[in-house]
Amino acid sequence: MKKTRKILVVYCILLVLVVATMISLWPYREKKQQLQPRDYPEIYNEGILRVVTEYNPTGYFVDGDTILGFQYELCQAIARISGLEVQMQLEMTLDKSFDLLNQQTVDIIARNIPITTEVKEHYLFTDPIILNRQVLVQRTAEANQGIKPIRNQLHLGKKELYLPKNSPALLRIRNLEHEIGDTIYIHEDELYSDEQLIILVAKGDIDYAVCNQQNAEQLLSQYPEIDIQTDISFTQLESWVMRNDSPILRDSLNHWLEQLKANGTYKKIYNQYYNQK
């Protein structure tokens, strides 16, 4: 009996020592699991630049056996002058795109993201790539039983506006509530991007969405039922986003973009997607 008790005491002491050792080593395990900085030198050594964009005409899309898209073609132009292989991943929601960036699954979010103070506190932007604005997407009078489209922002009070989750337009609409002194009901959609919300408006499933003008203009010819003549925001500078630990990548991208603008490549790509009038 005494022998058994001694063995139990020894086991208990050993168990306490093992647990104490595991606890003491835990911070080192956590530190090891932390992601290491990934900037241009690491990207250059690997030879691969990882990019996330969305599936639509301004991002990436497939037409027959051809891959097209403003962001896709701009990335391919950068690949040619940088010597890097560009690998593109598709993600429709901006929220999940930022998750991929934070997890180092990608190095760049190649979407038209407004340059705002809030985002700049946590991420790096390239130099402006495009000018854009947020517009109200609604149906024309002909497609909406004769009801005229809203032209005055004061009339947005008590209306329900749909926008993608974490849309850059959210802050503007919050400010607009204060400006008009009325409530605007905001529905942040976790599944749909600008393109899908525009289609829902055109089909009458929802009445109003707030999307960026460039994306909306891309769909006007396919959906003549929509009206995008009412601005929600002023003109905004938009660009690509990177993590804060990638300043050399940011500077490299700015240099390559300057080259593309200087040799006319950027203008050619831009006109193909945004200046077809």
**What is residue 5's predicted lDDT score, i.e. its pLDDT?**
58
How far is the C-alpha of 252 from the C-alpha of 8, rounded, in Å? 64
pLDDT digits (tens, 9 = 90+) for 13-38: 656 555 555 555 555 444 445 678 89
pLDDT score recorded for residue 2 = 53
What was the pLDDT predicted at 28? 45
* Superfamily covering domain 134-234: Periplasmic binding protein-like II (3.40.190.10)
What pLDDT score does 4 carry? 57
Whole-angstrom Cα distance, residue 137 to residue 169?
13
CATH 3.40.190.10 domain locations along the chain: 40-130+238-274, 134-234
pLDDT of residue 223: 96
Residue type at 87 in one-letter notation: Q
Contact 100, 180 (CB under 8 A): no
Buried b (16+ CB within 10 A) or exposed e, 199-213: bbbbeeebbbbbbbb
The reported pLDDT for the residue numbered 8 is 56
How far is Cα 50 from Cα 200, in angstroms, rounded to an integer? Answer: 32
Q: What is the pLDDT, as a whole number, of residue 31?
A: 41
Q: Which CATH superfamily is domain 40-130+238-274 in?
A: Periplasmic binding protein-like II (3.40.190.10)
**Low-confidence residues in the chain, pLDDT < 50:** 28-32
